[in-house]
Chain A
């Protein structure tokens, strides 16, 4: 079956850096997505990786190693508003617009 694992919760202080790891074992691979979700709201898109390497977008960066089935999301210069759940999702089909399988999410708590 499909398996997407990420830590349940992480705590960090304002201004610090936090790295959220995601490992996956899926029948196929066609891209990995990171989303941010605040409680009671819809997820918002953060990043997308389909090739190995690092993608940087402002304070957020995401890394992918396909051979290791591993990705991480790096949040720099943490702000209080970054307190949210971060979801790792894998598109496991050859269809470029195929369905996403989500991990359970990592709750990030930013403290003053």
Chain B
């Protein structure tokens, strides 16, 4: 089946630094990727939708200059959390739409802790 590889699985960074999270679709072309954030015991909150080769569409309330999304190829999308602060600590998950097999495949998630 379709696989999305997400790295790193966890990261600890200092306040003020930037962190990049990568999502790769391994056996299909992901024209569209979605980025979610999930706080403990809460549901997935959509942050942005990215389409290969174009600018991401951000959900209301999500700062596009803080959460930089790049989707330069059909198999790779990246989320960079810039100038991270402790309140950015969360579980970040990507999801790719598989237009051939159908459905959405999720990455394994990245646990970000900002200290």
Contacts and interface: CB of A to CB of B under 8 A. Distances in A.
A94 B6 CA distance: 28
B108 A42 contact: yes
Interface residues of B, number: 25
Interface of B is mostly: strand
Interface string B38-78: 00011111100100000000000000000000000000000
B82 to A, nearest CB: 23
Interface string A85-107: 00100000000010111111101
A40 interface: yes
Given A40-B111, A97-B32, A97-B97, 15 more contacts: A40-B91, A43-B44, A43-B106, A45-B105, A87-B43, A87-B44, A97-B99, A100-B34, A101-B46, A102-B36, A102-B43, A102-B45, A103-B43, A104-B42, A105-B42
Interface of B: 6, 31-32, 34, 36, 41-46, 49, 91, 93, 95, 97, 99, 103-109, 111
